[in-house]
Structure 1
Amino acid sequence: MIFRFSTFLLSFGLFSFTMSAQSLSQRLSDTYDTFREPALTERRFRHKDLVPLMQQLPASFEVTEVGKSTQNRSISQVRLGNGPVKVLLWSQMHGDEATATMAIFDLFRFFAASGDGFDDLRTEILSRTTLYFVPMLNPDGAEAWTRRTALGIDMNRDALRLQTPEGRLLKQLQQTLQPTFAFNLHDQSPRYSAGPTGKLATVSFLATAYNEAREINDVRKRSMQLIVGLNRMLQTYIPGQVARYSDEFEPRAFGDNIQKWGSSLILIESGGYAGDPEKLYIRKLNYLALLTGLQAIASGSYRKEDIKAYETIPENGRAVYDLLVRNVHVVRNGQAILTDIAVNRQELAVFNRPEKWYIRGTVEEFGDLSVFFGTQELDATGLTIEGDVRMGVKADFELKSADGQVKYRIENGTLLPVH
């Protein structure tokens, strides 16, 4: 009877904790528009766009220049809170991965506010943690809207050689601050799937390995526990659309090394969500995840999580295209062949000017694609495409019925019905 009663108490405690976390995330979600930074409305902003936002932060935010990029742009750190648990968060290690950067500035507005029902949450977080934000670690990459630094090096593969000043700075911050937790914030392909399904991996996590054996010590265990809670929270908003990366050890990567150096590393990747090309909804999900995670760190509630649930999060898959046309006949050499056609729409810069870009829809795959999915799909049974349909061509086609009537058009990768 004692065993059963204690089991009940444990279950009740976890239930209460879960309900409390869900209630908090719902309140944060309902009030998000109050805190969204209005100056950031799309992903392709630059270093010069963030500088005035940091200059306008209240005095309680300690803003310091902690380094310079290869092209001599300032790299700033924003310090907030005075608690014993240190948390380091950085975004745009890759210059063209800006979703979490927008969310960080939403967080700044949240922490600058008061008298709105969240003061207890702010006090809990800022009295028990000290937060160190580096909102744009690779400003040169952001300027050119490219993954790599101005040296042409992928900073996330520079943790050993430390050829980039940005990479040297990140290691210096970790070694100097010795944070208990570290959030490594990225964007991933918007076409990853959550496992072998047709659901997009809108957010993906990883508790990086710190050695080839992928062992779990206390440092990595904390990463897993925190991710378990964040996954449960996000399932409310994107059910079935949370994934995790393979934890294969990458000895050159910062995430793996920072885990090895003693900080519990949580990798968050912003993927794809239908109808959200600027990732503004995913930005909101980052905001919710970061605030929920910081509250769990401040309260210690993450310790109640069972790391077995981490392994139940499906791994990232590569099963989704932007548009998948199924069961269409394509005429080649006078013969109609049955095939599927996959199309992706890519952003391309105009004359290497990252602020000016256009969309090009291209045929990415051709043949039996029955094991793949499309964010948008069309069953084209009984329809035929005439013309040049092959890998790599621009996706401009007409789909006709047997009597020659045009039923659909695909223009630059976009499916258009014909009335």
Structure 2
Amino acid sequence: MTKYLLLLLLPFIGYSQKETLDQRLFASYDDYKEITIDKRRFKHNDIQPLIDSLKTQKAFEVTILGESIQERSISMISVGEGETDVLLWSQMHGDEPTATAAIFDIINYFKQNKTLLKNVRVHFIPMLNPDGAEAFSRRNAIGIDINRDAVRRQSPESEILKRVRDSLDADFGFNLHDQSKYYNAKTTEKPATISFLAPAYNFEKDINETRGNAMRVIANMNKVIQRYARGQVGRYSDEFEPRAFGDNMQLWGTSTILIESGGHYDDPEKQFIRKLNYVSILSAIESISTKSYEATTLDQYMSIPKNDRKLFDLKIENLSFSYLGLDFKVDIGVNHTEIENKNHSEFYYLGKISDVGDLSTHYGYETLDAEGYEFKVGETYPKILDDFEAFMNLDFTSLLSQGYTSVSINDMPKEIKFTPKPINIIDIKKIMIPKNNSMPMSPIKIGADATFLLMKNDIVVYAIINGFIYNLDENKNMVKNGLVK
């Protein structure tokens, strides 16, 4: 009897153990990841050798489409012999490079694996806005948002994209972007790590075959992402934007899929999100090639939760403080802005208080419950240091435990904009005499530096430095950088 049952179950055991395409892609990703790109702030010169190397690869065709305003080349890479044309364009916003890196991972995959290309021909424009990428800026060299130039097409980059779409009469288009890391999947604390949209082609948001096919492909991609970032997919707003390329691509007959790469836990360079792009886009190409997307219902697309924007880098709950003799309890939301440093090759963080009050409907990548702690503004260490070298030799844990959150330096090098240590620096030469306000300002206000102390029984337990936490009780330093003021 046992042997008979085992024979009956064998087909089901085999089926459950069979890997799907996306599982194989995810597991083997490191074999295809383009190792020369491991940071977000790469430029045209960084990817051009990768493009040039494909000119000698028989399966690939490299086409120079034209030049940007500052005369940087814009290239298209084509591969596959199928009748269905799939066009992918990335970095039309120069500071949105996550999918660009993923494109070169996908190209590496296609160098060794051609099965997915049986019925499709895939065309990549890795960097539509190389001038914006050079400055790590959203807009192009003359300040135009290319994604709002689909109608007038004032910029050469816009003309190039329209010309390519028309010449290919592309069946499918992938519009690849990055979105703010502060988006979350609506009503959840989870970041919208990937957001999708099948853009509307009119104000009525009608669904025709072109848009419906995009929705079906997205629904399949959502299934893939859910396997690796469950609950972290959002649906971007489908308000019709008559100037945008995605909306017009849909109108012109190309089933257009918008992908927005958002935020993920402990992934500042978006390398895991890049991997999700790689896996989901290749899975989408497979569904287009086999037409498996046709079996997907539109309800599956509509079930993807909408994007919301209720995330902070740090949320501090139940914080009590006193002001003008009165006691208050508030939540604080802190966000970090990336500040470019050294010719856009690196950055540091600037932490500011973004919101104050009842933030019970908001969430944090990190949340700290301050119930039972006393808020205190940190002080400046009374001894003025001679130089930066003296600063680097300080015992910072000891300073924080004494209530000091900043140190003054007399001879501060101008080129140093931040400190790698968990404390802020005051440059004596930059000190401004504060205005004499008749009424003292609240120590907690929107736009203020996110630097203060949380005390219990007159002992510093948490030091919040530039919006990062230093847990003195556990000697756990999570401060990415302090500031030079």
Q: Same fold (TM over 0.5)?
A: yes
Q: Per-residue deviation at 1:354? A: 1.6
After superposition, the Cα gap between the structure-2 partners of 1:148 and 1:98, relative to the gap in structure 1 and judged at 3 Å, is same
Alignment equivalent of 1:301, drawn from 292, 295, 306: 292
2:386 match: none
Taking only the aligned residue pairs, the percentage that are identical comes to 47
Structure 1 Cα separation of the partners of residues 206 and 167 of structure 2: 26
RMSD: 1.6
Matches within 5 A, 1:186-197: 186-197=177-188
After superposition, the Cα gap between the structure-2 partners of 1:21 and 1:74, relative to the gap in structure 1 and judged at 3 Å, is farther
Matches within 5 A, 1:250-265: 250-265=241-256
Structure 2 Cα separation of the partners of residues 45 and 69 of structure 1: 17
Secondary structure of the corresponding residue to residue 362 of structure 1:
strand
Would you say the 8 A contact 1:21–1:292 is kept in 2? no
Tell whether 2:446 aligns with 1:391. yes
Structure 2 Cα separation of the partners of residues 200 and 21 of structure 1: 30
Structure 2 Cα separation of the partners of residues 171 and 285 of structure 1: 28
1:173 match: 164
After superposition, the Cα gap between the structure-2 partners of 1:196 and 1:49, relative to the gap in structure 1 and judged at 3 Å, is same
Tell whether 2:98 aligns with 1:99. yes
Alignment equivalent of 1:358, drawn from 348, 352, 356: 348
Matches within 5 A, 1:301-320: 301-320=292-311
Q: Per-residue deviation at 1:367? A: 1.0
1:220 match: 211
Secondary structure of the corresponding residue to residue 199 of structure 1:
coil
Which residue identity lines up with residue 132 of structure 2 in the other structure? G
Alignment equivalent of 1:159, drawn from 150, 170, 194: 150
Which residue identity lines up with residue 148 of structure 2 in the other structure? R
Matches within 5 A, 1:29-40: 29-40=26-37
Matches within 5 A, 1:84-163: 84-113=83-112, 119=113, 122-123=114-115, 125-163=116-154
Tell whether 2:464 aligns with 1:410. yes
Structure 2 Cα separation of the partners of residues 162 and 397 of structure 1: 49
Structure 2 Cα separation of the partners of residues 112 and 26 of structure 1: 19
Would you say the 8 A contact 1:331–1:386 is kept in 2? no
2:364 match: 374
Tell whether 2:24 aligns with 1:24. no
Which residue identity lines up with residue 416 of structure 1 in the other structure? Y
Cα deviations across residues 336-356 of structure 1 (Å, max 9, x unaligned)?
3111111011101137x3223
Which residue identity lines up with residue 46 of structure 1 in the other structure? K
Would you say how many aligned residue pairs link Structure 1 and Structure 2? 393
Structure 2 Cα separation of the partners of residues 278 and 375 of structure 1: 16
Secondary structure of the corresponding residue to residue 246 of structure 1:
coil
Secondary structure of the corresponding residue to residue 118 of structure 2:
helix
Structure 1 Cα separation of the partners of residues 330 and 93 of structure 2: 37
Which residue identity lines up with residue 90 of structure 2 in the other structure? S
Q: Per-residue deviation at 1:330? A: 2.1
Cα deviations across residues 2-58 of structure 1 (Å, max 9, x unaligned)?
xxxxxxxxxxxxx9xx98997111111110000000000110000000000111222
Q: Per-residue deviation at 1:287? A: 0.1
Secondary structure of the corresponding residue to residue 228 of structure 2:
coil
1:5 match: none
Would you say the 8 A contact 1:331–1:384 is kept in 2? no
Q: TM-score, normalised by structure 1?
A: 0.91
Question: Which structure has the larger Rg over C-alpha atoms?
Answer: 2
Which residue identity lines up with residue 356 of structure 1 in the other structure? E
Q: Per-residue deviation at 1:233? A: 1.2
Structure 1 Cα separation of the partners of residues 236 and 166 of structure 2: 26
Structure 1 Cα separation of the partners of residues 17 and 287 of structure 2: 11
Alignment equivalent of 2:45, drawn from 27, 44, 48: 48
Unmatched segments (≥5 aa) in structure 1: 1-14, 114-118
Secondary structure of the corresponding residue to residue 314 of structure 1:
coil
1:268 match: 259
Cα deviations across residues 117-157 of structure 1 (Å, max 9, x unaligned)?
xx4xx23x222111110000000000000100111011111
Which residue identity lines up with residue 344 of structure 1 in the other structure? N
Cα deviations across residues 34-85 of structure 1 (Å, max 9, x unaligned)?
0000000110000000000111222321112101101110000001111100
2:336 match: 345
1:400 match: 455
